[in-house]
Amino acid sequence: MGTERSITHRSRPVMELVGRQAEIAQILDIVEEEHREPRMLLLLGEAGTGKTGLLAVAVNHARDNGTLVLESQGSEAESRQSFASLHQLLLPLLPDLGTLSDHLRGALETAFGLAPAQGPPDPKQLCMAVLRLLTEVSRRQRILLAADDVQHFDRDSLDVLGFVMRRIAAEAVSVLLAARGQTPPDGVAADLRTLLLGPLTEQAAAELVDAQPHTPTGRTRIDLLRQARGNPLAILELCRAAGTGGAGVLPGGGLPQTERIQELYAARLRGLPELTQRLILYAATSEHEDLATIMAAAGTGPDLGAWAPAEEAGLVTIVDDGRVIFRHPLARAGSYHGAPAHLRQQAHRDLAAALTADPARRAWHMAAACIGHDESVAAALEDTAELAERRGGFFAAAQALERSAECSPATADRARRYAKALRAAQNAGAPSWVRELYDKVTALTEDRDLLGVAACGAGMALSSFGHQRHGFQVLMSALEPDPPRDGMTVLALAAVLQAVAFQSGLPEVRRPVAALLDRVEAGNRDTPYSELTSNEAADAVRTSALAGAEPANAPELLRRMRRRPGVPEGTAGVTEMTRVHSLGGVAWYADESDLCVESFRQAYAMLKAYGSMGPAAPTLSAMGSALIDTGRWTEADEHLEEISTLAAVQKLRHLQIDAEALRVTLRALRGEPAGIPADPSWTALGLEENRATHARLLRAAGTAAAAAGDFDGAFRHFRSLFAEDGTPLHYFMSPRSIADFAAAAQRTGRQEEATRILAVVHAALGPRPSTRMILLMHHASALTGDPKDAEHHFRLATVNPAGDQWPLARAQARLHYAQWLRRRRRPLDARPLLTTALESFTRLGASALAEEASAELRASGVATSPAKADPLAELTAQQRQIVRLAARGLRNREIAEQLMLSPRTVSSHLYNVYPKLGVSSRNQLRDLFDDL
């Protein structure tokens, strides 16, 4: 966690911190009793990053363990008073001064004003006095020196503290310092071990927002997270502002003023020259404009000297590329709202006048200065939105369209623009915002096409929040009794309906999809759905929805889709992204997992260029499953982290549970301790109408139980994937666990019960099941069917080369076949199967399964060496990303641009990981990956 949930002082208990678990572990390591050597750490970070909160955690922990805590907090008011900070630090030890020799005691008493000064204290004697005092006391009790805001310590105190830290030899003294900034302040040793507190991760920032009493929603929530930039104090203050004042009027959709935010910066602003204050206001108003534009609008001339007082006050930084950067997220809000309304309005007008060559930004400033309705402003913002979407900015387009609607004088235009804003917000992946806009559209119009667009977004939003039945009702209300006139709107509604049907697993939701799609004609270039304006994209979406509605037809649909002529060369944009994304969906339902992964990878890369993974939300869990099934476990780790972040930021509960279920599955497969964490908030999700998530949870629990040797528990969980009569809980997900279910049944002697389920699944698969399901059914039949047919089924489950794209399932089938052979005293036949299975398990990192295969191999008379772990598993997620991109041939600068790092950081990471990977050059990296 990143900061206190309330401003913390030493007299108050410390609240739980969000997103700082790693940092807490480091600081507690400094104060742990078992460490017998001196330990020292300097916490660095900008205001509000949580330094004081982390110090408080260490102080409370130390006190609970009987450590004597000596605290001091720097004060700007006392920074010119000699030894003021040292006196505060050593105040509890003043009764112990009598243990010092007279000359040392006298030096301390003189410095602290406890004795008449006979002259200035001898610096050397004073340093030795403090060192001796701490050493003597530490022999009785462990000591923690905790100093906050060290940048405001007086220099004399810092000199003494530095001397002591360089020479302290006592075993029971630890030192924790905290200072504002990115580098140690003057007077603190540059080589002191430091911990730099950066911004919170997106996920942690979202968690901190959700922990506040008045949690913002919709656009306000997204604005808040963007403006706070991961700074915990900014999150707290902006949440408080949003809770008391709602959305504000900062450019791009800001947050309102509060007295607390103004007070944080009022003193600094009042102390600036009038010209500097004017520049600060125009910089705060501009948000994104360059230095030259700001100065032209403010009419201050080209002299940069006017900025110097603001830089010295720590409000802004002028960077070399000609931009003005506010040093703290709250500085901009405080500077903007600290000015009177008429000055803010004039600043917007002046900036609009200065931006004649940039119609998009000009339109925003015109809108910010607009009072009431103005069609010219509304039209300009609508044009801005179209430009933003073409450039790949879904979120910016949605913002511009919503403001355009607010400025529209005519009700019909307002409804139309709100509907377009809803579409853009849906693409931006903001379901809460979509629901807000849905209410605005439905209150303004009865137009069936606009209501269809609105229902499409609202239905997907409701599904994202886990409300599948409600989403179904909203979608059907737009289709019955009169569907929209635009065929592409009907197609979009049917596609969303299919996504709801998959997540819900409910037959009544899935039933209408195919009939709806039969009525849809080819692409319509006048449709509001820009991603469906090409026939290729529209056909791909239709095919994907048909495959999801009836997966038994998916293999044939995929074959037809791949036989169609290719798209024109150079095709790009949202239509191509839509086509590739839909191809991934068809491949998922057709069990062509490698194609599924490659297609989704390509589509996700395009979506990231548009600044949002919103349209990908329904397929993210499928991608996670496909990565696990195809053995790309390192990539699966990274993907699941991305899912968790998106789910936390947008409060997508079922997606968050999906990600955790897949993580548990992956940990269990690796042989790590795994189990579904107890989370009472999960009960808020109705699993009965979210059967896809329920199926993933059951598979995770069953896999974890089997990995722990609890085969009764594994059978119970896998059995729950099917009703009493064998009907799958989820029409697509449940059958994919049939081999795991059969393995648990075979281990617990429940083969007869499993055989009944297999018969039902076999009938449901139809006459032409996918290759993957054929292999899984043979595997399951070999384990639980008629013993005389077992070898026949085992052979069919293990010999088809197509099964190699599912390495884990293939290796498990070989292991089970080999175990069957060994029980029939055929060890020579079992050995090659075990050897191949062991190699697969080792490469995947499935350590427990590798050990089981190794034990079987030894029992068959073959000596084995310990399995070699996957070297990539030792790397951090960021290091794995860098190595993967380097293996693809990207240069350091290209990798840095893609991951938003410096080329030097990339080079350093590669230098450090080469020894871990056992390589000596870049060319060898490609051999580490099977999926490039």
What digits encode the pLDDT tens for the residues 686-710? 889 999 999 999 999 999 999 999 9
Does residue 924 carry a pLDDT above 50?
A: yes
Half-sphere exposure of 424 (CA within 13 A, CB side): 29
Q: What is the DSSP string of 615-648?
A: GGHHHHHHHHHHHHHTT-HHHHHHHHHHHHHHHH
b/e burial code for range 706-740 (CB count within 10 A of at least 16 → b): bbbeebebbbbbbbbbbeeebebbbbbbbbbbbbb
Residue of 152, 179, 175, 178 lying closest to 163 (CA atoms):
175
**Banded model confidence at residue 1, pLDDT cuts 50, 70, 90:** very low
Indicate the pairing of strand 143-148 with strand 173-180: parallel
Q: Is the dihedral of CA 312, 315, 318, 319 positive or negative?
A: positive
Q: What is the mean pLDDT of the chain?
A: 84
Helix (H, G, I), strand (E, B) or coil at 824: coil
CATH class of this structure's domain 370-444: mainly alpha
Indicate the pairing of strand 316-319 with strand 323-326: antiparallel
CATH 3.40.50.300 domain extents, the chain: 21-196
Looking at residue 310, the DSSP 8-state letter turns out to be H
Phi–psi pair at 144, nearest 5 degrees = -120, 120
Q: Which CATH architecture has domain 872-928?
A: Orthogonal Bundle (1.10)
The DSSP H or E segment spanning 544 is helix 535-549
Helix (H, G, I), strand (E, B) or coil at 96: helix
Looking at residue 290, the DSSP 8-state letter turns out to be B
**839-856: per-residue pLDDT in tens?**
999 989 898 899 998 988
To which residue do tokens 């175990």 refer?
819
What integer pLDDT is reported at residue 5 of this predicted model?
Answer: 31
What integer pLDDT is reported at residue 256 of this predicted model?
Answer: 46
**627-679: per-residue pLDDT in tens?**
999 999 988 998 999 898 888 888 888 898 999 999 999 999 998 887 776 66
**Banded model confidence at residue 916, pLDDT cuts 50, 70, 90:** low
For 505: left if phi > 0, alpha if psi spans -120 to 50, otherwise beta; the answer is: left
Helix (H, G, I), strand (E, B) or coil at 849: helix
Does residue 586 carry a pLDDT above 90?
A: yes
Q: Is the dihedral of CA 900, 425, 599, 588 positive or negative?
A: positive
CATH class of this structure's domain 692-789: mainly alpha
Does residue 201 carry a pLDDT above 90?
A: no
Is 21-196 CATH 3.40.50.300?
yes
- The burial of 398, by beta-carbon neighbours within 10 Å (0-12 exposed, 13-18 middle, 19 or more buried), is given as buried
b/e burial code for range 291-326 (CB count within 10 A of at least 16 → b): bebbbbbbebeeeeebbebbeebbbbebeeeeebeb
Could you tell me the two tokens for 466? 């886990």
Does residue 8 carry a pLDDT above 50?
A: no
Contacts of 735 by beta carbon, 8 Å cutoff, 6+ apart: 728, 761, 764, 765, 773, 776
CA–CA gap between residue 64 and residue 611 (Å, rounded): 47
What integer pLDDT is reported at residue 252 of this predicted model?
Answer: 40
CATH 1.25.40 domain extents, the chain: 370-444, 692-789
Q: Omega of the bond prior to 481 within 30 degrees of 0, cis?
A: yes
CA–CA gap between residue 932 and residue 930 (Å, rounded): 6
**98-154: per-residue pLDDT in tens?**
888 888 888 888 887 776 656 666 788 888 888 888 888 888 888 899 999 888 888
Q: Is the dihedral of CA 443, 444, 448, 449 positive or negative?
A: negative
Helix (H, G, I), strand (E, B) or coil at 876: coil
Half-sphere exposure of 890 (CA within 13 A, CB side): 20
**Banded model confidence at residue 873, pLDDT cuts 50, 70, 90:** low
**52-89: per-residue pLDDT in tens?**
888 989 898 888 888 899 998 888 777 788 888 888 88
Tally of CB atoms within 10 A around 751: 16
Question: What are the start-end ranges of the H helices in 610-734?
Answer: 617-629, 633-650, 653-669, 691-707, 711-719
Question: For residue 74, which amino acid is it?
Answer: G
CA–CA gap between residue 181 and residue 280 (Å, rounded): 21
What integer pLDDT is reported at residue 169 of this predicted model?
Answer: 64
- Across 343-352, 360-369, 511-520, 556-565, which has the greatest mean pLDDT? 343-352
Does residue 460 carry a pLDDT above 50?
A: yes
Distance of CA 205 to the CA centre of its chain: 10
